[in-house]
Amino acid sequence: MAVADKTSGFAITRLTKGRMPVLPFLRMKGRVLGKKYVLSLVIAGDAYSQKLNRTYRKKSYVPNVLSFPLEKQSGEIVLNLRQAKRECRSRNESFRFFTALLFIHSLLHLKGYRHGGTMERQEQQLLAKFHIKNSSRP
Q: What is the pLDDT of residues 83-104, one digit of tens each?
A: 999 999 889 999 999 999 999 9
Residue 105 assigned to a binding site: yes
Going by pLDDT thresholds of 50, 70 and 90, the confidence category of residue 55 is very high
Cα(126)–Cα(96) distance, integer angstroms = 14
Residue 131 assigned to a binding site: no
- Judged on CB neighbours under 10 Å (0-12, 13-18, 19+), 127 is middle
Residue 109 assigned to a binding site: yes
Compute CA distances 54 → 47, 51, 98, 106, whole Å: 11, 5, 24, 18
Q: Which CATH architecture has domain 2-129?
A: 3-Layer(aba) Sandwich (3.40)
How many residues can be counted in the chain?
Answer: 138
Whether residue 79 is predicted with pLDDT greater than 70 in this model: the reply is yes
Nearest in space to 136 (alpha carbons), one of 98, 78, 93? 93
The pLDDT, as a whole number, for residue 136 is 61
Tell me: the pLDDT tens digits for 39-53? 999 999 999 999 999
Whether residue 1 is predicted with pLDDT greater than 50 in this model: the reply is no
DSSP letter for each residue of 7-31 = TTTEEEEE-S-S------HHHHHHH
Cα(138)–Cα(122) distance, integer angstroms = 24
Is 0.95 surpassed by the pTM of this model? no
**CB-CB contact of 52 with 66 (8 Å):** yes
With b for 16 or more beta-carbon neighbours within 10 A and e for fewer, the 2-38 pattern comes to eeeeeeebbbbeeebeeebbebebbebbbebbeeebb
**CB-CB contact of 11 with 4 (8 Å):** yes
Domain residue limits, the chain = 2-129
List beta partners, residue 10.
Answer: 5, 39
